[in-house]
Each structure stands twice: as C-alpha cells, then as structure tokens.
Amino acid sequence: MKVLIGLFLFLFIVELSLVIAGINGLFHSKTNIIIEFIVAFLMLVAGIVSYKRYRRMNKLFEDIEDEELRMTALIQSMPDFVCFKDGKGRWIKTNDFGKELYGLQDKQYIGKTDRELGLVSPFFKDAFEYCMASDEDTWQKAKTVRAEEAFFIPSGELKTFDVIKVPNFYEDGSRKALITIGRDISQQKLAEEKLVKQEKLAVAGELAAGIAHEIKNPLTSIKGFVQLLRENAPLSHQNVSIMSSEIDRIQSIVEELLALSKPQTRLEESFSIHSAIEYVVNIMKHQAYDKKVELFFEQSDDSSEVLGDRNQLIQVFINLLKNGIEAMENGGQIRIWTVTRNGSIRIGIQDQGTGISEADLQKLGEPFFTTKEKGMGLGLAICQKIIHEHKGQMKFQSKLNEGTMIFIDLPVFTK
C-alpha cells in the first residue's frame, strides 16, 4: 500500500511538472495543457483516496492486532483450559494451560484435529477421541453443553474437568467455530469423595448406635432369664414365652435392617394402583374393625397404572394403614383417595389419630426414629426406600390432635 501511494505521488509530480511546463509555453497546445492538468488533478484525488484508505486499513489492522493481544492476554490469564476450534474441528488457538495439559508446548498443533493430535501426543489418544465425540454431540444439539470429562495424565493422576462447549454457526447454519472451556475440579471431586466417605462413616456410626440400642433391651431380658437358669431356678411357661418373644424381636430387627440396607430384587410390571389399594383395604379392614376404625377408599374414575413391584407397594400401604390404625386409640376413620394429574398419580391417606408434632415430623423416615412406645423406627424408612425406588415421593402433613395426612406421588405408566 505504501508503494502504491508513493507511485501515485510520483505520477502526480510528473503530471504537475508537465502542466507547469505547458503554462510556461514549453507546449503550444492548450488542449494538451488542459488534459495534463485534469490528469494531474485525478492523480491527486486518487492519491488522497488511497492515502485515506491506507490509514483506515492500517488502523483496522492495528485494532485487530490489539484485540488479538487482549484476547491472548485474557485466555492466558485464565486458570482454565481454553481452546478455539474451527467448524471442521481443527485447533485454532489454546492457552498455555492447554499446551501443558496435553504436552503440546513444543509441538505444532494449529490446524490439526483431535485425531491428528492423538498421533502427535499418543498418551492422550483416547482423550482426544472422546473430545471428538463430545464435540459432535455439541454440534448436533446446537446449543451450549456442560458436562464432566475425566482422563489420566502422564503422572498417573486422574484429572476431572467441568467442561463448557459453545458452538457458533454462520447465518446459513453451517459450522463456524467451537469454544471449549474446562475448569479443573479434580481437587473438588476428591474433597467431595472424602466428604461422602465421612458421611457414610457417620451414618454407619448412627446405625450401629441405633442397632445397639434396639437390641440391648431384649438381650438384657434374655440374659436375666439365662442367669435364672444358671441358678437352677425353674422357668415358668410365661418366662419362656417372654424369652421367645424377645428373640423374635431381635430377629425382626435384623430382618428389617437387611431390607433397609441391601438392594432388593424388584419386579418390573405394570398394574392398577387401585386394585393394589383395594387388596390392602380388604386385608386390613378386620384389624381396623377391632380398633373401631373405618376404612374408606375413594377411587378416581380413571384406570391409571404404575410400573414396579406390586408386592412392595402393597407392603408400603399396609405399613401406613397399620400406623394410622394404631394412632387412633379411640377409633375413627381413615380416608384413602387417588387423583391423576400431570403424568403422576397421587395417593392420599388421612387418619384422625393423635398427630405428630412439628419437631417429630421433620424426623419421620429416619432409621430408628419412632413415636411408638415399642416401635423400632424402621417401617417408614423402608417405605420411603421403596417409594424412592419406584421414582416416587412421599410427604407428610400432621398436627398434634388433628391427625396425619400422607401423600404418595408415583409416575403413571404409559404404554
């Protein structure tokens, strides 16, 4: 551009000299003088226009260089992995973090795809292949994607990154560029795993304390009767029955703990939740009658089905109705109803029992928490576990002396 402007300036001076020469009489033709003058003027205009264009382009290049410098400074200052790729997956630019991470400090990476970089840095071949698949998934979704990606580095350390990928498209919808930003969360993951282990130990400690407390009482009774046997004192039939009952109680505690802790084999079948509730009402109505409790089941008109294990859900309903009956010492009514909405079926169970205080309501479902005098506090924990395994939710509402209401929401099965 500078050479072109210099050429225009040189030609302008030549033409201007010719005009001056014509004016001084060196040329006799006025026409030639006018032509030379016009040419000189045009040369001047072209030179000015070219100069201004040069200034604008020079300023544009300077701005681009400044912007590139600022962008480079920005991505270099980031403590994260930053990478720019074109629409064909070729690396355009990455920061020092990325070069060091993949061992590309002294290697030519610009213009290469992930697969080609896998040949340049073979240790990360699998990681690059996964990146290609992840990039393609982002292009297909045509929106910002966030996920965790983990891979080993040469030191043997497992690196985990919180990765954000942003696709850019041209106006015609073709692929333009892909921006990838990955934050190293390896230490955070280790801290989370450590915290989970600590929580498991804490839960195990609480569970052990609960087991010891629950089993201690029947063991104390059995120990006392064994002591009587040592002293050769005869045991009455009643004492033997108590010992047997206490042993059965220990066995019941252990069985419920096993049901709560180990994974259960669950059938996957669709069935009518209404038929399951009707079955429970029929087998519980005699126990309810003995306690002067009436059971009312208000079934909705639809025939919604759920997917899961019918026997396990029957176990839940039996446990909940039993709790309601035992909470109504003076008799009353228990109302059960169902309603289907927004792809889920809600089962409501309302009793007229003594109710639960606000403080105790927050603890419902915790292992070994119970408001019963002889309860073990495992029934509701098992119920919640079963409902959770069926992708459902169970909620409680209660006030002292006003009864308790239970809501169970289960997804409706769609064929």
Q: Which tokens belong to 385?
A: 């576990």
8 A C-beta contact, residue 149 and residue 158: no
Q: Which of 345, 343, 321 is nearest to 333 (CA)?
A: 321
Segment of 25-39, 126-140, 349-363 carrying the highest mean pLDDT: 126-140
Range of 234's domain? 190-261
Q: What is the CATH number of the domain that holds 144?
A: 3.30.450.20
Q: What is the mean pLDDT of residues 347-374?
A: 75
Same domain for 307 and 375?
yes
Q: Which long-range contacts (C-beta less than 8 Å, at least 24 apart) are formed by 214-219?
A: 214/253, 214/368, 214/376, 215/250, 215/253, 218/246, 218/247, 218/249, 218/250, 219/246, 219/250
Query: Each residue of 144-177: pLDDT tens digit?
Result: 999 988 888 888 888 899 999 999 999 898 999 9
Segment of 239-253, 259-273, 392-406 carrying the highest mean pLDDT: 392-406
Same domain for 64 and 82?
no
Same domain for 298 and 358?
yes
Same domain for 278 and 380?
yes
Same domain for 307 and 205?
no
> Helix, strand, coil shares of the chain as percentages rounded to 5?
55, 20, 25
pLDDT of residue 50: 63
pLDDT of residue 161: 92
As a whole number, the mean pLDDT across the chain is: 77
Residue 158 burial (10 A CB sphere; 0-12, 13-18, 19+): exposed
Q: How far is it, in rounded angstroms, from Cα 76 to Cα 83? A: 11
Q: What is the mean pLDDT of residues 211-226?
A: 69
- Whether residue 64 has pLDDT greater than 60: no
* Count of domains for the chain: 4
Same domain for 225 and 287?
no
Boundary-marking domain end, from 200, 229, 261: 261
At 45, the amino acid letter reads V
Q: Which tokens belong to 249?
A: 């109680």
Segment of 31-35, 261-265, 353-357 carrying the highest mean pLDDT: 353-357
Same domain for 167 and 239?
no
Same domain for 8 and 99?
no
pLDDT of residue 146: 92
Residue 268 burial (10 A CB sphere; 0-12, 13-18, 19+): exposed
Q: What is the CATH number of the domain that holds 216?
A: 1.10.287.130
pLDDT of residue 27: 45
Same domain for 33 and 111?
no
The DSSP H or E segment spanning 42 is helix 30-77
Boundary-marking domain end, from 139, 157, 184: 184
8 A C-beta contact, residue 300 and residue 374: no
Q: What is the mean pLDDT of residues 355-376?
A: 69
- Whether residue 95 has pLDDT greater than 60: yes
pLDDT of residue 136: 93
Same domain for 9 and 67?
yes
Q: How far is it, in rounded angstroms, from Cα 400 to Cα 327? A: 11
Q: What is the CATH number of the domain that holds 394?
A: 3.30.565.10
- Whether residue 26 has pLDDT greater than 50: no
pLDDT of residue 230: 66
The band of 89, judged by pLDDT with boundaries at 50, 70 and 90, is very high
Same domain for 398 and 379?
yes
Boundary-marking domain end, from 184, 209, 233: 184
8 A C-beta contact, residue 185 and residue 162: yes
Of 158-172, 188-202, 267-281, 337-351, where does mean pLDDT reach its minimum? 188-202
Cβ neighbours for 376, distance < 8 A, ≥ 6 positions apart: 214, 252, 253, 256, 368, 370
The band of 132, judged by pLDDT with boundaries at 50, 70 and 90, is very high
8 A C-beta contact, residue 341 and residue 322: no
Same domain for 321 and 194?
no
